[in-house]
Amino acid sequence: MNFISFLTDFGIHQEYVGVCKAVMLSINPDAVIVDISHTVTPYNILEAAFMLKSFVVYAPQGVHVAVIDPGVGTQRKGVAIQTVRGDYLVGPDNGVLSWAAESLGIATVVALENKTYMREHISSSFHGRDIFAPAGAYLSRGILLEDLGSPLQENSLCTVPVPTWKKDKTGIHGHVLRIDRFGNIQTTIHAEALEKRTTVTVEIGDHALIIPVVTTFGEVTHGEFLLYEDSDGLLTVAQNQENAARTLSISPMSEVTIRS
């Protein structure tokens, strides 16, 4: 199992990602490392949990290392999870692994405790390099999960709440889940919640927009707002070839209401 995926909020301007990958390759030179993303909004565990869940559905069986870790150096545990599908999930026990684990099914969980499978000197601020990268690489080499530490109960794992939406007589209510690099505003509302409509009113932030419901960006003019079902099956507000989030001054977890 040489496939390793890697997800962090480290950014790409410093050496942190490269150092972690170098550690992995020093342990397993045959590893194939795929970057999910390293531009997760800093400390945003929910955003990273969504990314990881969305990724593993398409990934081959392998080891998936996720390091979004605002509690680094504290008493929070590091964990490795063996899934029913046969993958391993490695990272801090802060909920970042929870949606992917639920999607793939949890078979066994251990705390990362065995220093044999860590770097000799462990920084209090860089567990990605010193604990998680080594654990992922050793698992990819075939080390047994139980060699990494003592077992944990599945119900002891931290989780993050799954974003929800609701529908009532006044409309469909949800939140902004995340904003992509184009400024498209992905909501928590499933596309199936919206009955067939050609135009809706979207209340978001301080704005109430009357916008078309379309399938493609090409159905509206440059700069026009639109609502569409994105590749995750969620409703997304966009502005054709412009940055909707910036135009509307929208941030993640803002409330969204869609009215017919």
> Residue 187: which CATH number?
2.40.30.90
Same domain, 177 and 84: no
Q: Are residues 22 and 93 in the same domain?
A: yes
pLDDT at position 175 = 94
Strands 88-92 and 63-67: parallel
Are 118 and 175 in a shared domain? no
Whether 150 shows a pLDDT value over 80: the answer reads yes
In this structure, the answer to whether residues 128 and 45 fall within a common structural domain is: yes
Q: Residue 200: pLDDT above 80?
A: yes
Q: How far apart are CA 234 and CA 237, in angstroms?
A: 10
The percentage of residues in the chain with a pLDDT greater than 70, rounded to a whole number, is 100
Chain centroid to CA 190: how far?
17
What's residue 186's pLDDT?
A: 96
pLDDT, residue 241, reads: 97
- Measured between alpha carbons, how far is residue 82 from residues 45, 90, 209 in Å? 20, 9, 46
Single residue among 131, 156, 181 that ends a domain in this structure: 156
Q: Do 186 and 91 have their domain in common?
A: no
Last residue of a domain, one of 98, 121, 156: 156
Q: Which among 220, 219, 226 is positioned nearest to 244, based on CA atoms?
A: 226
Closest CA to 46 of 62, 63, 10, 70: 70
**pLDDT (0 to 100) of residue 196:** 85
161 falls within a domain: no
**Mean pLDDT, rounded, for 204-232:** 95
Q: Domain boundary residue among 156, 191, 221?
A: 156
Q: What is the pLDDT of residues 62-92, one digit of tens each?
A: 999 999 999 988 889 999 999 999 999 999 9
Tell me the two tokens of residue 81.
Answer: 């999870």
- 7 is a domain residue: yes
Q: Are residues 127 and 41 in the same domain?
A: yes
Tell whether 193 and 247 lie within a shared domain.
yes
* Domain limits for position 62: 3-156
92-112 confidence digits (pLDDT tens): 999 999 999 999 999 999 999
- Give the position of tokens 């992917």: 100
Which of 10-19, 77-86, 143-152, 247-256 has the weakest average pLDDT?
247-256
User: Average of pLDDT values for 5-9?
Assistant: 98
Q: Tell whether 145 and 205 lie within a shared domain.
A: no
What CATH number should be reported for the domain holding residue 144?
A: 3.40.50.10790
* Mean per-residue pLDDT, 10-38: 98
Whether residues 120 and 145 share a domain: the answer is yes
pLDDT category at 165 given cuts 50, 70, 90 is very high
Same domain for 29 and 81: yes
* pLDDT value, residue 195: 84
CB atoms within 10 A of CB 34: 14
For 82-121, give the DSSP string. Answer: EETTS-EEEEESSSTTHHHHHHH-EEEEEE---GGGS-SS
What is the rounded distance in angstroms from the CA atom of residue 22 to the CA atom of residue 196?
51
Q: Residue 145: helix, strand or coil by DSSP? A: helix
C-alpha 34: how far from its chain's center? Answer: 15
